[in-house]
Structure 1
C-alpha cells in the first residue's frame, strides 16, 4: 500500500516537481487569473498527463517525465522556493554560490520528485475540492482537500504574484510544508559547516540520486 505522502503527492502536490526555471509561458493569458483558477488549471493538466496510460519503456517513461517537467516550469517559482528553503543563509552566499545552489536545488527536486511519476498507476482517480482562497497583496493561499482511496487529505498552495502571474512556491500537505522541511535540513547543516561544505554535500546527494535513478537521466 502506498504511504499517505505518496497518495497525496499524485493527487495534487505535483506542483513541487521540477528542474528548470519557470520560462514565462502564457504570461499575458494569466494576467487576470485568480490563484484558485491557476491551481485548477495546473491540476487538471497534470492529472491528464498522469492518467494517460502508456507503456513502461524507457522512452515512454521519459516522455511522461518531460510532460510533468514542462508543467512545473509554467506553474512553480523555483527561485522563490530555493531562497525560502535556504532561509537566513541565502544572504551569506556569493553570487556564484547562489547560482550553484539554485542549480543543485533544481536537480534535487528533479531526482527526488519527477522520477516518481514512473510509479503512478493508470486508472487511479482523485476528487479535489477547492475550499478557500486568501489573497494578501502579492501573496495568496489556496486550500484544497483531496479525496483519494477513501481518505481526505488537506493540501495548501502558497503562491506569489510575479510579473502579473500567480506562481506556486510552496506546497503544504497535512500541515507539512516542503519548503520548511528543506529549510530545517539545510539550516541544521549550515549551523556548524561552511557554505562550500554544504554545496559539496548537496552535490554528492544529487549525484547519488542520479546514480539510483532508473532511467539514469
Structure 2
C-alpha cells in the first residue's frame, strides 16, 4: 500500500517538461502552493503526451524526472535529514557524494513510480498562512488524488523556504500519513551507522542505476 500511495504522490509532484520552456518560466518558486499546482498541471500534460515513447522505453521516465522534478526538490536538505545524527561524523566530500548518490536514487525511485500514471485527477488545498498572509518557512501543500471507482488518496507535500534565495523546494511527501523522508531516514541512517556512509553511497549508486520496469506492460513488478 505504501508503494502505491508514494507512486501517487510522485505523480502529482512530477514537474513540467523542458519541452514546455515557456511554461517552465511561469512556475513561481516564490509561492509553494502555486509552484506545486502549476507544476502538477504541466506534468500530467507531459506524461500523457509521452506515453507512447514511455511504453517502448520506460527509462525515458528518468530523463523526465531529471529535467522536470529535480529543479523543484530540495534534495540536499533531504539528504542531510536522511544522514541524520551521522552528519557530524562525515567529511565534506562524503556529504557531497552522498547528496549526489541520493539525488540519483530519487530519480530512479520517482521514475519507477511514474509507471503508475493512469491520467488521475488532483484537487489541491492550501495550508494556513501567517498574519501577513504568507506561508510559514515550512509549508504543507495538500492534495487529493481522485481515483474513479477507487478510494481517494491524501497527499501532503512539505516545502521549505530557502532564506538565501527566497525560493521554495519540496523536501518530503506524506502519503496517507506516511512520510517518505522519515521512512528513508529510518532505513538509511541505521545502515550508515552500521556499515559507514561510503558503503551506503555505493548501495545508492547501484539502486540508481537500475532500469525502470513498465509495470503497466507486464504487471510482474
Question: Which range, TM-score by smaller chain?
Answer: 0.7 to 0.9
Normalized against structure 2, the TM-score is what? 0.74
Give the match's secondary structure for 2:52.
Answer: coil
RMSD: 3.0
Task: Give the distance between the partners of 1:92 and 1:16, measured in 2 at CA.
Answer: 34
Three-state SS of the structure 2 residue aligned to 1:192 is helix
Counterpart of 2:138 in structure 1 is: 139
Q: Give distance in 1, aligned partners of 2:11 and 2:128.
A: 17
Query: SS at the partner of 1:97?
Result: helix
Q: 1:200 to 1:166 in 2, by over 3 A?
A: closer
Partner of 1:164: helix, strand, or coil? coil
Separation in 2, partners of 1:171, 1:111: 16
Stretches of structure 1 lacking an aligned partner (at least 5 in a row): 18-24
Gaps of 5+ in 2: 16-23, 215-221
Please name the residue that 1:108 is paired with.
Answer: 105
C-alpha distance in 2, partners of 1:131/1:26? Answer: 23
TM superposition shift of 1:103: 1.5
Give the Å deviation of 1:134: 5.0
Aligned pair partner of 1:177 in 153, 175, 179: 179
1:14-40: CA deviations, max 9, x gaps?
Answer: 5389xxxxxxx859x736x42211111
| Residue equivalent to 2:114 | 117
Distance of 2:129 and 2:141 partners within structure 1: 7
CA apart distance, 1:4: 6.3
Count of paired positions: 197
- Measured in 1, the distance between the counterparts of 2:102 and 2:185 equals 12
Alignment partners' CA distance in 1, 2:200 and 2:92: 16
Q: How far, CA to CA, are the matches of 1:4 and 1:188 in structure 2? A: 21
Contact 1:81 1:170 in 2 (8 A): yes
C-alpha deviations, 1:75-109, integer Å up to 9, x for none?
A: 11111111112212122210111111112111211
* Residue aligned with 1:199, SS: helix
